[in-house]
Amino acid sequence: MFDTEDVGVFLGLDVGKSAHHGHGLTPAGKKVFDKPLPNSEPKLRAVFDKLAAKFGTVLVIVDQPASIGALPLAVARDAGCQVAYLPGLAMRRIAGLYPGEARTDAEDAAVIANAARTMPHTLRSLELTDEITAEPTVLVGFDEDLVAAEATRTSNRIRGLLTQFHPSLERVLGPRLDHGAVTWLLERYGSPAALRKAGRRRLVELIRPKAPRMAARLIDDVFDALDEQTVVVPGTGTLDIVVPSPAASLAAVHTQRRAMQAQISTLLEAHPLSPVLTSMPGIGVRTTAVWLVTVGDGTGFPTAAHLASYAGLAPTTRQSGTSLHGGHAPRGGNRQRARGKTHTQALLRLARQRISVLFAMLRDGTFYEPRAPRNIELAA
């Protein structure tokens, strides 16, 4: 639990791009500050110093520790204040307990301050971020922006165009748009007519250097899809004009992401926990970087159950009268698995087990060790 015994004032900050709203409360709940704060070092430092001079230790709490919340945290640390982070999920749940649906910056700042004052167990420690963690934080954020704002949007645009004019071709190429050979193909042959004109043998030869194992199979699938549709949807000829451009943009995003992954990997080599996390099968560079940025070394969580709750993997129980239900059953379909578990429940249980193992690995500083298969003797 976050130690707030010596705190003289809890200053909740609802951070913004140009200004933050601050709300200060004493341990007794008396409001001592409630106004906007410009996002500049002199203004922030003046407020922190004034509160510290009057009330002693100041605990600055934010709901976004990175990006727009980075400067107030840095200034607060330099001014001798304590700093903490109220996770967004906890923030939303606590805010839901307050009356009214409308939320303002002032109200959010008050929620943050009061949560820190009355529920310190909801806070996460923010140790001084060194260069090893700070640089991956920026790179991971940029990588996530590339995925969300660029790759996904561009992929959806290409898939939408293909679906409109040639659904069979979209079913072949759409799910493979993350492969460089496919974006290269669409960048140069954006329409069904252009693909057919290039010919099966030539296309296989052209993409083989980019996809040695899947070249022949991919082109066979492409031509099978082309043969499925004999009619030409009006407007199909425009694909030669509109598809190559987003395909080139998507290829550029993929190139950026590969370069970003290489940089993140180089930075993670200096982090002592990187080899611990990557020792678990399925944990790669991006997952390790996101984990270290969001969870750190796990010391902010007393138990694996706390970490699972933070990750949204704690079991949810629904009770009404004498009826008691654990988990969330699917609303439709028949997806029952062994032992009466649904597919979603099975995935949640697996993820929950992984969280427990990762927590133990980080706690003990040990590498992942696969469990030896048990020998089962069959009865004669």
Distance, in Å, from the CA atom of 205 to the CA atom of 197, rounded to the nearest integer, reads: 15
pLDDT at 371 over 80: no
**pLDDT tier for residue 16 given thresholds of 50, 70 and 90:** confident
DSSP 62-127: ES--SGGGHHHHHHHHHTT-EEEE--HHHHHHHHTTSSSS---HHHHHHHHHHHHHH-GGG-EE--
Domain that holds residue 111: 9-128
Structural domain contains residue 320: no
Q: CB-based contacts of 133: which residues, under 8 Å, 6+ apart?
A: 271, 292, 293, 296
pLDDT at 2 over 60: yes
Structural domain contains residue 355: no
For residue 134, what pLDDT is reported? Answer: 66
Number of domains forming the structure of the chain: 2
Structural domain contains residue 362: no
Residue-wise pLDDT tens digits, 267-317: 777 788 888 888 998 888 878 877 877 777 777 677 888 888 777 766 555
Structural domain contains residue 168: yes
Q: CB-based contacts of 232: which residues, under 8 Å, 6+ apart?
A: none
pTM of the model: 0.58
Least confidently predicted of 41-50, 94-103, 331-340: 331-340
The CATH number assigned to the domain holding 46 equals 3.30.420.10
Please state, in angstroms and as integers, the Cα–Cα distance from residue 15 to each residue in 38, 102, 179, 262, following that order. 10, 18, 39, 32
Task: Please tell me whether residues 98 and 17 are part of one structural domain.
Answer: yes
**pLDDT tier for residue 332 given thresholds of 50, 70 and 90:** very low
**pLDDT tier for residue 333 given thresholds of 50, 70 and 90:** very low
Task: Please tell me whether residues 104 and 172 are part of one structural domain.
Answer: no
- Percent of the chain clearing pLDDT 70 (strictly above): 85
Q: Which of 239, 254, 269 represents a domain boundary (last residue)?
A: 254
Structural domain contains residue 37: yes
Structural domain contains residue 262: no
**pLDDT tier for residue 148 given thresholds of 50, 70 and 90:** low
For residue 271, what pLDDT is reported? Answer: 80
- The stretch 198-210 carries a mean pLDDT of 95
Residue-wise pLDDT tens digits, 220-263: 999 999 999 999 999 999 999 999 999 999 999 888 888 888 88
Q: CB-based contacts of 24: which residues, under 8 Å, 6+ apart?
A: 9, 10, 11, 12, 31, 32, 33, 34, 51, 113
Task: Please tell me whether residues 108 and 33 are part of one structural domain.
Answer: yes
Structural domain contains residue 88: yes
